[in-house]
């Protein structure tokens, strides 16, 4: 005779951001509810933002700080003796590594601790733990210590409750070691959580047979590793009712912030079809790549928009769909609604026409996996993309007024002079007119190729990151659940001035923006662009303000330049201009390169100036989607 199904409470703890609701909770909730399970969810990071104060919460979790460090005070409740002995170390780390914005009020360590105490007690007093049999915590980057703190207290109060952890922070061997280290955690779900959670609640007595489950059997920790994955086409559309209920119970400041800046997440895929970048560990819980088809994604967007009166969405996946991205763009565009989308994209995947279609569909912001402008560095990263692909992505975004929030990853343990010099050369070429990157110093993460094969990257020794050595007692770190590693190089490398390089780029960008504000016409605000006269092309190059250049190309040169709007190989160019002598084509291409009009990599060519059209009106406004806003 089967036991009665167990009731489930799922929790997302701080330090998640509040602009994007947790996707994990509504996905799991919808799957289990569809199968008749009694399940509730709590988005407790919303209350955290209220109790810390929105400005302080953002200060804790966003660069130059981060959500991983933000969890440090919860060590007080997980390891009280360790906290008492090391509080000065916590305080010192906070003061040394947290950077205050001079425009905002100071957030002291003492206030940080006091408000964490308030949050901890509020959660214990106001969440109805006693009404549920299984209590699950979804764990990502900065949620382990907060989840451990609450789980530990629940077990002290109600030992019969079963605690379940899941997410990237507790996958595979990490999850097994977390289970070994913390006796008050009963189960770990490693991988897709939908079916494992449902079966754990509905047939608990058979939990030893549940795929993806990690559990104890006597003194052993068992992992039911499985290749079974969920079919994304069949999961129900997630509901965010509980998120909105909790949002309505927070301060007016939190509600207003979400109304202005919030987006609803739409899961489009799991895993990564490339999955070879040496620094990346984002897919350690996904064994294979899967994506929803365009029709399903569109149905989800329409349903969520109509249900919650939302027009802003974040597409959740490592990149755009591999196969149906153009179909998706077209379908969204044909809805003729004022949607706004954020998505991650891969360089080299999209053409200039794809970016134009993206903009028409409502994609206003993307994050392209640029990571470097050095051929040498991209090989270290095994990105599978070229420098020319990265430049094209930025150029097409700029032409279509799509904000590209991208990173440069630096300070690999095997960094070389070529990595910096190549990037410096490209930065000089681009900084006058294309958007600057954010600098991201390499962090070696569990599951990445660098962590698994350190000897290939000039690493002699790895150890837990300094913040982990403060947050966790040594005897716990030795149990092997470290997520972020520090490293010692075999052969020390130079410290290159990456910060200066990026700062100069940002200053150049700001200077261009301010000068653009003083211009009367839209075209005058542009820095590097061309206009097409059908039988000729006129190029305006103001990247060097002390040496402004105007080029006029004849009809043949025009045809060659327009052929390089998208990346094109020399062979393809020769085929396109089969009647042109090879020496003449080569001379034109060399002239373009010498004047900074083309970027060339491995016999592939890309036109660098932005493409725009000017209407025949008195104001001569720019018609094409070039970013001309001040």
CATH 3.40.50.700 fits 263-443, yes or no: no
Over residues 374-403, mean pLDDT = 97
C-alpha dihedral sign at 465, 285, 77, 21: positive
pTM here is 0.93
Over residues 407-432, mean pLDDT = 96
Model confidence at 593, in pLDDT bands (50, 70, 90)? Answer: very high
Over residues 297-319, mean pLDDT = 97
Q: What is 519-612's CATH number, 1.10.3720.10, 3.90.480.20, 1.10.10.10, 3.30.565.10?
A: 1.10.10.10
According to the 3-state scheme, what is the secondary structure of 171-236? CHHHHHHHHHHCCCCCEEECCCCHHHHHHHHHCHHHHHHCCCEEEEECCEEEECCCCCCCCCCCCC
Instruction: Work out the percent of the chain whose per-residue pLDDT is above 90.
Output: 88
Tokens of 549: 């250049």
* Distance set, CA 244 to CA 33, 34, 43, 301 (Å): 18, 20, 10, 17
536: left (phi over 0), alpha (psi -120 to 50) or beta: beta
Model confidence at 518, in pLDDT bands (50, 70, 90)? Answer: confident
Model confidence at 81, in pLDDT bands (50, 70, 90)? Answer: very high
Greatest mean pLDDT among 280-294, 418-432, 523-537: 418-432
Q: Domain ranges for the chain, please list them.
A: 8-223, 263-443, 519-612
pLDDT tens by residue, 1-28: 356 899 999 999 999 999 999 999 999 9
The owner of tokens 């080569």 is 586
pLDDT tens by residue, 529-542: 999 999 999 999 99
Residue 93 pLDDT more than 60? yes
pLDDT tens by residue, 317-357: 999 999 999 999 999 999 999 999 999 999 999 999 999 99
């Amino acid at each position: 005779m089967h036991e009665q199904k167990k009731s489930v409470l799922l929790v997302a703890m701080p330090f998640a951001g509040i602009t994007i609701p947790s996707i994990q909770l509504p996905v799991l909730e919808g799957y289990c509810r569809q199968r008749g399970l009694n399940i509730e969810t709590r988005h407790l990071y919303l209350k955290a933002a209220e109790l810390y104060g929105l400005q302080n919460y953002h200060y804790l979790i966003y660069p130059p700080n981060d959500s991983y460090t933000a969890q440090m005070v919860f060590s007080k409740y997980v390891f009280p003796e360790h906290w008492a002995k090391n509080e000065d170390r916590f305080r010192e780390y906070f003061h040394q590594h947290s950077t205050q914005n001079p425009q905002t009020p100071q957030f002291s360590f003492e206030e940080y601790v006091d408000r964490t105490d308030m949050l901890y007690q509020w959660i214990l007093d106001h969440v109805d733990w006693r009404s549920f049999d299984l209590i699950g915590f979804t764990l990502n980057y900065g949620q382990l210590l907060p989840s451990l703190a609450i789980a530990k207290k629940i077990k002290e109060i109600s030992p019969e409750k079963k605690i379940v952890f899941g997410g990237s922070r507790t996958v595979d061997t990490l999850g097994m070691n977390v289970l070994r280290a913390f006796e008050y955690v009963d189960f770990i779900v490693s991988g897709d959580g939908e079916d494992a959670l449902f079966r754990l609640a509905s047939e608990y007595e058979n939990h030893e047979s549940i795929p993806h489950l990690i559990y104890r059997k006597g003194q052993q920790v068992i992992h039911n590793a499985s290749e079974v994955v969920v079919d994304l086409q069949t999961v129900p559309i997630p509901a965010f009712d509980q998120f909105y209920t909790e949002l309505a119970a927070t301060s007016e400041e939190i509600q207003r912030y979400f109304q202005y800046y919030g987006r609803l997440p739409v899961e489009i895929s799991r895993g990564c079809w490339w999955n070879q970048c040496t620094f990346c560990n984002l897919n350690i819980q996904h064994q294979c790549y899967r994506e929803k088809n365009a029709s399903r994604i569109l149905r989800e967007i329409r349903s969520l928009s109509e249900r919650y009166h939302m027009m802003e969405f974040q597409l959740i996946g490592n990149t755009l769909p591999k196969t149906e991205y153009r179909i998706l763009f077209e379908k969204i565009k044909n809805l003729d609604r004022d949607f706004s989308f954020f998505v991650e994209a891969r360089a080299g995947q999209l053409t200039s026409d794809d970016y134009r279609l993206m903009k028409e569909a409502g994609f206003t912001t993307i994050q392209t996996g640029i990571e470097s402008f050095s051929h040498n560095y991209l090989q270290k990263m095994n990105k599978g993309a070229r420098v020319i692909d990265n430049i094209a992505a930025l150029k097409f975004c700029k032409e279509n007024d799509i904000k590209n929030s991208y990173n440069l990853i630096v300070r690999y343990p095997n960094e070389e002079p070529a990595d910096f010099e190549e990037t410096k050369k490209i930065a000089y070429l681009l900084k006058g007119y294309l958007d600057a990157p954010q600098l991201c110093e390499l962090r070696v993460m569990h599951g990445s190729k660098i962590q698994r094969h350190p000897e290939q990257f000039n690493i002699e020794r790895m150890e837990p990151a300094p913040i982990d050595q403060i947050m966790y007692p040594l005897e716990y770190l030795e149990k092997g659940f470290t997520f972020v590693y520090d490293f010692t190089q075999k052969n020390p490398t130079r410290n290159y001035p990456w910060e200066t390089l990026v700062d100069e780029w940002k200053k150049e960008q700001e200077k261009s923006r301010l000068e653009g504000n003083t211009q009367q016409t839209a075209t005058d605000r542009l820095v590097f662009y061309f206009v097409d006269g059908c039988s000729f092309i006129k190029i305006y190059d103001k990247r060097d303000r002390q040496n402004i250049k105007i080029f006029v190309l004849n009809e043949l040169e025009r045809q060659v330049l327009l052929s390089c709007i998208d990346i094109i190989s020399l062979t393809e160019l020769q085929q396109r201009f089969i009647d042109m002598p090879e020496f003449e084509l080569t001379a034109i291409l060399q002239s373009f390169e010498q004047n900074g009009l083309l970027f060339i990599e491995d016999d592939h060519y890309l036109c660098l100036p932005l493409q725009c059209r000017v209407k025949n009106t008195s104001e001569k406004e720019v018609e094409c989607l070039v970013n001309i806003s001040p």
